[in-house]
A and B are shown apart, each in its own frame.
Chain A
Amino acid sequence: MRLLFVALFSFFLSVPAGFQSAFPVRFQIKNAGITVEGHFSESSFDVQFNPKDLSNSYLRGKVLPSSINTGIGLRDKHLQGRQYFQSASYPEVQMHSKRIRSLGKNQYEGVFEIQIKDFRQDKTISFSAIPKGKGYEFEAKFSINRLDFGIGEKSLVLGDEVVVEIKLRKE
């Protein structure tokens, strides 16, 4: 019975790629002392999450660099180019959990592999998963160094650190 419950619950969470929020993946970066905010308008997620069976839970996500939006069209086009995301050659940025552990009530920590272009990096990320209706609202905020992923070069004005915020609801 217990196994059946887990299986059913997981089925409901393993929805096909979908967009629960308008823009689940947002980011911030300092440019000339100003925080530039942006988002990826196209993303998809594959989630199987059961707090009682974290070893079989996973969170997977993709964003399309071609959908980057910083509010300035030409800048977005440049970010898609070869000196940044090279979206023509690398159409997806991927992220998936390798393992997840609980940190207490609704709080978790996962080791995620992030892949941008040919660069891969494991990163430990804390996130919350708050039950909502039949699903969960996931929320994570973490930072990466863009230079670790070949996103542009060292710059006098553009920061290295990119703060990424993911807010996702999965029924």
Chain B
Amino acid sequence: MGKNKLVQLPLWTWILAILPLLAFGVGKGKWGNFSVQFIQEIPRIWTDLAMKNWELPNSNPEFSAQPVSEEFYYSLPERVIFKTYPVYHPDYEPDGYWEWLHEQEAEIVFDPKNLKTEEDWIRAGELLFDYPIDTLGAVIGTEHVRDRDFYRDTQMPLTSEGVMPFAKWVVAGKGKVYLGNLSCGMCHTRVMEDGSLLKGAQGNWPGDKAFAYALEKDGASEKAIQNVTGFLFSSPFVAGDPHGKLIASGKDSLVAAYRAVPEGAFGRQGTSILYPPQAPNLIGVKDRKYLDHGGLGQHRNIEDMMRYIAMNQALDFLNFYGDYNPLGLTKERLYSGQPIIFPGTYDRHSDEQLLAIAKYVYSLTPPENPNKLSTLSEKGKIIFAQQGCVTCHTPPLFTNNQLTPADGFEIPEEHYGKYDIFDISVGTDPGYTLNTRRGTGYYKIPSLLGLWYRGPFLHDASLAKLEDLFDPARLRGDYVPTGFKPHTVKTRAVKGHEFGMDLGKEDKEALIAYLKTL
């Protein structure tokens, strides 16, 4: 093409040609004098305006969460991200590893200036996903993970290398080796049967069993256990105050309650060990419209995901629910300018860090499914449609992304215009969403994608296997739940979601075969 023909090109072709430069910027680099640079906009996520209506109201709206102010949030120091190291079971720890760790210098591994491409951001996000925000021993401490009894007592899953992947060693300086708790990966990492790791999956960290072990091993006093349980779960504004009763039940009962929570569920702050939430599967979370089992956080864009990460990593300890704060703070104390030394509340992730984590979480993809399509699964696919499963678990996401009310919750009229509501209860246990700080009165209709690598099932992890879901015996009072069962009972009916119960044996097998292919 000659010069004359080039200048005859229409204006839009020139605009198209320079669009990448307009979008990404121009700088010096390996392409001679110019290279395309990735310019990442960093959203400011914790604004008073954005936080106001981001979360759904509590099922008792008078006690909906009031988050800290934008001014308070951004006055918190940003977290420094040090290099971390794996925690080994004592029998697998390489010779001299512990001593070697103590000789390492601190290494700061997150610097947004080094992130040049989308892939850089995702890699940094993975690092942050695994980064513990607590080194004060919020759940377990150094002495626990260096004790063989800990692994035996908690039946802790280990990788094939003998690594306990749910906590990390944080080296904050030479000789400063701390056990880090409360990374995203703590609850969202699954050790598979072959000892490999599946990041982002429904985790199998037996966190509450580990906490119970730590409480007992450390000889925690009844008062201390009551206090920490109150910080985590108290919701005195709930009718009947079930957590108040749990706390009053004493040390042995409290420890038993923690021990009752199976791996695959975890009593995160604001939730409950009476109604423990199943650890959510994050693979595919990009396509979910709501976050948390009760759909507490709206998920309209990546900024919402960033907000959720910030809030979920302990900032909700600073929320007020009416006049109630879980740490016993008053608003005067909260806004006094004095730091609140409680795990996760005296510092924060930067917006860059949150963005990186969100990008990583969005990038998660499922592993190859070993359950291939078959004649049986094809039959199951038809049963899936015939049984009406598709109405709520609509392909291709296998959720309609709607919220379904729990028994006992009356949908406020104004919710219909604001939220995506499937206005019928499937009758599952309403405890989590009616009796906790995070309760909205709804349950999120879950996606069925990746069922083959997940479990236990239902929002309260009460059923260990898919087969249990279709077992009519679970509706009886003499049923022994195969997953979570409260520490106070030996048997309990697992009610609700009573679909496919009447199918014949072969049809159930076909349906389950299909579900495992998703």
Taking Cβ atoms with an 8 Å cutoff, the residues of A that contact B are 31-34, 36, 70, 72, 74-75, 77-78, 81-83, 155-158
The interface residues of chain A lying within 8 Å CB-to-CB of B384 are: 32
Known: A34-B382, A34-B385, A157-B395. A78 touches B390 (CB 8 A): no
- Complex Cα distance, B416 from A151, in Å, reads 16
Q: Are A157 and B390 touching (Cβ within 8 A)? A: yes
Q: Are B423 and A81 touching (Cβ within 8 A)? A: yes
Q: What's the nearest-Cβ distance from chain B to residue A27, in Å?
A: 15
Most chain B Cβ neighbours within 10 Å, of A32, A70, A81, A82: A32
Closest 4 CB pairs of A and B: A34-B385, A32-B385, A32-B390, A78-B424
List 23 A–B pairs whose Cβ atoms lie within 8 Å, in order of A's numbering.
Answer: A31-B390, A31-B391, A32-B384, A32-B385, A34-B382, A34-B385, A34-B386, A36-B386, A70-B388, A74-B426, A74-B498, A74-B499, A75-B391, A78-B391, A78-B422, A82-B416, A83-B422, A83-B423, A155-B394, A156-B394, A157-B394, A157-B395, A158-B391
Most chain A Cβ neighbours within 10 Å, of B386, B395, B416, B422: B386
- Complex Cα distance, B424 from A81, in Å, reads 8
Known: A72-B388, A82-B416. A32 touches B395 (CB 8 A): yes
A interface footprint on B377-398 (CB within 8 Å = 1, 0 otherwise): 0000010111110110011000
Q: What's the nearest-Cβ distance from chain A to residue B388, in Å?
A: 5
Cβ-closest chain B residue relative to A81: B423
Q: Are B387 and A33 touching (Cβ within 8 A)? A: no
Most chain B Cβ neighbours within 10 Å, of A72, A74, A78: A74
The interface residues of chain B lying within 8 Å CB-to-CB of A75 are: 388, 391
The interface residues of chain A lying within 8 Å CB-to-CB of B385 are: 31-34
- Complex Cα distance, B387 from A33, in Å, reads 12
Cβ-closest chain B residue relative to A83: B423
Q: Are A72 and B499 touching (Cβ within 8 A)? A: yes
Q: What's the nearest-Cβ distance from chain A to residue B425, in Å?
A: 9
Contact of B395 among A36, A74, A156 (CB under 8 A): A156
Q: What's the nearest-Cβ distance from chain B to residue A91, in Å?
A: 18
Cβ-closest chain A residue relative to B384: A32
Cβ-closest chain A residue relative to B424: A78
Q: Are B388 and A31 touching (Cβ within 8 A)? A: yes
Q: Are B424 and A74 touching (Cβ within 8 A)? A: yes
Q: Are B388 and A36 touching (Cβ within 8 A)? A: yes
- Complex Cα distance, B498 from A77, in Å, reads 14
Q: What's the nearest-Cβ distance from chain B to residue A100, in Å?
A: 37
- Complex Cα distance, B384 from A72, in Å, reads 13
Q: Are B424 and A77 touching (Cβ within 8 A)? A: yes
Contact residues of B between 394 and 432, Cβ < 8 Å to A: 394-395, 416, 422-424, 426
The interface residues of chain B lying within 8 Å CB-to-CB of A70 are: 388
Known: A32-B395, A156-B394. A82 touches B423 (CB 8 A): yes
- Complex Cα distance, B457 from A109, in Å, reads 54
Q: What's the nearest-Cβ distance from chain B to residue A68, in Å?
A: 13
Cβ-closest chain B residue relative to A70: B388
The interface residues of chain A lying within 8 Å CB-to-CB of B395 are: 32, 156-157
Contact residues of B between 59 and 94, Cβ < 8 Å to A: none
Q: What's the nearest-Cβ distance from chain A to residue B18, in Å?
A: 39
Most chain A Cβ neighbours within 10 Å, of B388, B394, B422: B388
Q: What's the nearest-Cβ distance from chain B to residue A11, in Å?
A: 45
The interface residues of chain B lying within 8 Å CB-to-CB of A155 are: 394
Q: What's the nearest-Cβ distance from chain B to residue A161, in Å?
A: 17
Q: Add 7 more A-B contacts to A33-B385, A83-B422 (CB < 8 A).
A: A34-B385, A72-B388, A72-B499, A74-B424, A74-B499, A75-B388, A155-B394
- Complex Cα distance, B394 from A156, in Å, reads 8
The interface residues of chain A lying within 8 Å CB-to-CB of B390 are: 31-32, 157
Cβ-closest chain B residue relative to A80: B424
Q: What's the nearest-Cβ distance from chain A to residue B331, in Å?
A: 39
Q: What's the nearest-Cβ distance from chain B to residue A58, in Å?
A: 37
Q: What's the nearest-Cβ distance from chain A to residue B298, in Å?
A: 19
